[in-house]
Amino acid sequence: MSVRSLRASVLAFVMGAAAVLGMAQPASAAGHHYVALGDSYSSGVGAGSYTSESGDCRRSTKAYPQLWAAANAPSSFKFAACSGATTSSVSSGQLSALNTSTTLVSVTAGGNDMGFADVMQACVLQSEATCVSRVNSAISLMNSSLPGKLDTMYNSIRSRAPQARVVVLGYPRFYKLSGSCIAGLTETERGAINNASDVMNGVIAKRAANAGFAFSSVVDEFTGHELCSGDAWLHSVTVPIENSYHPKATGQSSGYLPAFRTSV
């Protein structure tokens, strides 16, 4: 066998073994130009280690977009996600990061459109009846106004990045029901909040599919690591208050990152 043939055989063996073992090839080999859009679940609020340039957007070096970029060395990487972002503020304030050369986009958005923070505040501070009523009002908005808001954002993303693979990520369920918590919200409140998360993810998944985008749920990854599980990857009510109900660094690395990676 010639040296050239031997090298070819070795290369084929290594590539085959990588495929069998599920080893990720560097994104730079595919020429990825990656842009991370979205709200606090993409910027990494709750994970700590925020970059000074990001200010109130609180972009974390431990957020899944930053972790994926560090591991895969894309040809370019723009981290535009920002705490507090809504579908409309993503469209108006983040899409300048996209262009016709963009090949990969990730995005989380929708929770702030439904008043996520207000819902959780009502549930923590007010009665069970008020909590459930506020959750049901949010679900009504999810079914009525959220689809159009998502469509507008997704259409704007596609217009700016016509060749990109777009991965839309969902939100985790917050609570393990019948779990280890002995104080705080009632089981009825926890169940209502989990149901709202399921409805939200269903709406997002459908609109993403209609736009031709990939949807990656994080529910499976977070199962067994919800609040009241004894091994939570989410903050409960905490200080600073903006960390409450957001993924910890482990939630980003072991929850969001694998969910994104499987859809790239």
Answer yes or no: do 117 and 230 share one domain: yes
Question: Please, which residues bridge with residue 33 across strands?
Answer: 76
User: Is 78:37 a contact under the CB 8 Å cutoff?
Assistant: no
Q: Is residue 46 situated within a structural domain?
A: no
Residue ranges making up the domain that contains 123: 86-261
Could you give the 3-state DSSP secondary structure of residue 235? coil
Same domain for 17 and 120?
Answer: no
- Residue 248 maps to which CATH number? 3.40.50.1110
Q: Do 114 and 8 lie in a common domain?
A: no
Count CA atoms within 13 Å of residue 3 on its CB side: 0
Q: Which residues are catalytic?
A: 40, 246
How many separate helices (H) and strands (E) can be counted in the chain? 11, 5
Q: Are residues 8 and 122 in the same domain?
A: no
Question: Which are the contacts of 259, defined by CB distance < 8 A and separation ≥ 6?
Answer: 169, 216, 217, 218, 220, 221
Six-digit token pair at 249?
A: 């660094």
More confident residue, 156 or 29: 156
Q: What tens digit of pLDDT does each residue of 229-253 get? A: 999 999 999 888 999 999 999 999 9
Q: What is the pLDDT of residues 51-73, one digit of tens each?
A: 999 999 999 999 999 999 999 99
Q: Say what the pLDDT of residue 31 is.
A: 62
Residue 234, classed as helix, strand or coil, is strand
The backbone torsions φ and ψ at residue 82, rounded to the nearest 5 degrees and listed phi first, read -145, 135
Q: If we measure between CA atoms, which residue out of 247, 228, 250 comes closest to residue 38?
A: 247
pLDDT tier, 18 (very low <50, low <70, confident <90, very high otherwise)? very low
What was the pLDDT predicted at 240? 87
